[in-house]
Amino acid sequence: MNKYGGNAGAIAALVREAEVHRDVYVDPEIFELEMEHLFPNSWIYVGHASQLAKPGDFITANIGRQPVMASRHTDGSIHVFYNRCPHKGVKIASEPCGNTGKFFRCPYHAWSFKTDGSLLAIPLKKGYEGTGFGDTQANEGLSKVRNVVIYRDFIFARLSDSGVSFEDYFGESLSTIDNMVDRSPEGKLAVQATPIRYMHTCNWKMLVENQTDTCHPMVAHESSAGTAVKVWKREQGDATETPMAVQLYGPFMSPYEFYEQSGIRIWPNGHGHTGVANSIHSNYQDIPGYLDQMVAAYGEQRAHEILGEVRHNTVYFPNIMVKGAVQILRNFIPVAVDKTLVESWVYRLVGAPDKLYERALMYNRFINAPTSIVGHDDLEMYERAQEGLKSNGNQWVNLRRLYDGHEEQDVTAVINGTSERQMRNQFHAWAKFMTMDMDKRIEAAE
């Protein structure tokens, strides 16, 4: 059934001021259109430059469902291209990361490409003489993704040739990435760990919404964080120190008032974060030696400024979340309308004590792993929603908490931390980036 394709009006009608139609989560056609429009029109995270330390290093990724790869060229520059041979479409790289040496070589017919993607050689090249090959796209080598920006080592790409610039798209929201990088005394992050991968049988947007949903932790995670707090109370005896594990679990059980006053900040284009005044990451125990390193690197005032910014979850629309205070990025990779691969990455703060890295890795496996009890709580809710939304009794999802009747769109604002406004912000951006090129494409087709 073709209900939404090329029909920007029908898509826009799925997003009301404070409600969204369930088709955004369950309709396969909507998912196809997200792959065709929303993801190519948005700036998508590809990887981190530290994964491409040496010339010839490469990583593979997906933008929406499209396979891409990034590589470090011999001159030190980073390039992003589609991961398919221009000949027959074979994926050039099949591993998450590696080093290809001086060139990429397709394993099927040995076409080879420089590490900037350009065509290097084809066996029996004379077979293409006089065939017009020079005028084909294949002659250019691996198709390049032209819009690539590397911001403080974070590699982002936009597949569409036209659209919103990187600076306009992210704007002030980049301050969360800034804060995460600044937390290294050397101003540098490094990926040294494979990500934790966790398959979710639900729509990708449920995960994104949950990042700024502050009214669920004390309910859905009573079973995990609540039990952790209870067991520790019973077992602590005369312990003088709270174990790192309990420090990480405990704050999830903070009451509504805590989340209300900690605040939410929204930005244009669907970005936003929880934990403005303080957050569940505010009261971790100091790691010995770290503050001294930071003061030595940045000076007293700046060091405290950096460490005093303890934002909770920052959503970079459409599909990543960054936690500066614990150096984690979660990538919600859409697989199908009801299937999402979550890859959770930890960044090591270069030059900082090992204990910080230990804590980040611990947080990641406590919260983001298929073996995580907090993860079990959340996935159960997403799966039940994916099932429940098939009901025709009510076709709308309610996002009305703290809606005041006339919200301005694409603004920066700080609001009550239990508001669902960031979810509304995301859906406004969703409708915008879904439909922005639809009319143009129809014209082009006609």
Partner 1 sequence: MISEKTITDFIYEEAELLDTMQWQAWLDLFHPEGRYWMPLEWQQQDPVLQPSLMYEDLLLLKVRVERLAGERTFSQKPKSRCHHLLQSPRIVACDPAAGVFKARTSYIYTETRGDNLERYSGWASHDLVRVGDALKIKLKRVDLVNFDAPFGNIQLFM
Binding site for partner 1 (CB under 8 A): 193-201, 220, 222-224, 226-228, 230-232, 235, 243, 245-246, 249, 341-343, 346, 354, 357-358, 361, 364-365, 369-371, 373, 375-377, 379-381, 384
Could you give the CA distance from residue 285 to residue 153 in angstroms, rounded to a whole number? 29
Tokens in use for 45? Answer: 């995270």
Nearer to partner 1, 192 or 394 (CB): 192
- Nearest in space to 262 (alpha carbons), one of 282, 248, 286, 285: 282
Could you give the CA distance from residue 413 to residue 199 in angstroms, rounded to a whole number? 34
Shortest Cβ 80–partner 1 spacing (Å): 23
Could you give the CA distance from residue 342 to residue 200 in angstroms, rounded to a whole number? 7
Shortest Cβ 216–partner 1 spacing (Å): 12
Shortest Cβ 380–partner 1 spacing (Å): 4
DSSP notation for 397-421: EE--TT--S-PPSS--EEE-TT-SH
Nearer to partner 1, 197 or 304 (CB): 197
End-to-end CA distance of the chain: 21
DSSP notation for 145-160: --EEEEETTEEEEE-S
Shortest Cβ 197–partner 1 spacing (Å): 4
Nearer to partner 1, 10 or 373 (CB): 373
Shortest Cβ 331–partner 1 spacing (Å): 12
Nearer to partner 1, 105 or 339 (CB): 339
Sign of CA dihedral 357, 362, 365, 366: negative
Shortest Cβ 370–partner 1 spacing (Å): 4
Nearer to partner 1, 220 or 276 (CB): 220
Nearer to partner 1, 194 or 394 (CB): 194
CB 185 within 8 A of CB 352: yes
